[in-house]
Amino acid sequence: MASKRKLTVFELDAIREMAAVGAGHSSTALSELAKKQVIVSFPSVSFYKIEEIPSLIGKPYELVTTVILRIEGKHQAKRFPVGEMLLIFVEKSALDFTNLLWNRENKKLDESDLDALKETGNILSGACLSALTEYLDFKMVESMPGAATDMLGSTMDSTLANLAVKTDEALVFMTDFKISGHDIKSYFLILFDPTVLEVLVKKIKEKSQ
């Protein structure tokens, strides 16, 4: 069964390397958008129990603004799931970020701010996926993004439920972005669908030969 698939150290390293390039592209896109320097952490790539994934970010009751996107692969006429992308702004980071984008001092997020955050999610995932496409030789498309400000757990559970029917553990790619000179921090995650791991490993092996 797909959920029982474990990767070797070599395979995980190769995926981490690919993910680091993707994260680099995303942080560049974020930097251009905010017109500020972005500090990006070295990405981690590991398996986690679905139920444990929110604790990588914080406590389930912490206030966040989360943007979600679904990623699908496209090969010839076939579409297949690649994973779930999450962009999570902690505490007031979403508000500080939109204020920075529009050079203003609003006190709370409104609908147009949420739209801007969705668009940011689109841009970051687009940049990341275009880098991954180089490695994987298949095109990827993103779904329409959704955004919500609420408790961490409640903004993540429907996304986790999508994967929870398929696997006990998911491969999680995670990095975080900080905007230089501002107290703005966001986490960028891709939760890989278990059915795509086989393809990922095969493509990476082909490239390394």
Partner 1 sequence: MSENKLTIGMGEFVVSSSGVLEAVGLGSCVAVCLYDKGKKLGGIAHIMLGKSEGFDVNPMRFADKAIDAMLKELLKKGCKQNNLTAKIFGGASMFSNIKTAMEIGNNNVNAVKAILKKYGIKIIAEDTGGTHGRSVWFDLDNGKVVVSKVYGPTIEV
Compose the 46-85 pattern: x for residues touching partner 1 by CB under 8 A, - for all others: ----xx--x----xxx-x----x-x---------------
Which pair of tokens denotes residue 8?
């070797």
Residue 69: Cβ within 10 Å count: 24
What sections of the chain are H helices per DSSP? 9-34, 93-102, 111-136, 152-164, 197-208
Q: Is 12 in the site for partner 1 (CB under 8 A)?
A: no
Q: Is 153 in the site for partner 1 (CB under 8 A)?
A: yes
Among 5, 168, 199, 203, binds partner 1 (CB under 8 A): 168
Contact 187, 173 (CB under 8 A): no
Least separation in angstroms between residue 110's CB and partner 1 is 14
Q: How far apart are CA 34 and CA 159, in angstroms?
A: 27
Least separation in angstroms between residue 79's CB and partner 1 is 15
Least separation in angstroms between residue 74's CB and partner 1 is 19
Torsion of CA 122, 123, 126, 131, to 10 degrees: -150
- Binding residues for partner 1 (CB under 8 A): 1, 3, 50-51, 54, 59-61, 63, 68, 70, 143-144, 146-162, 164-168
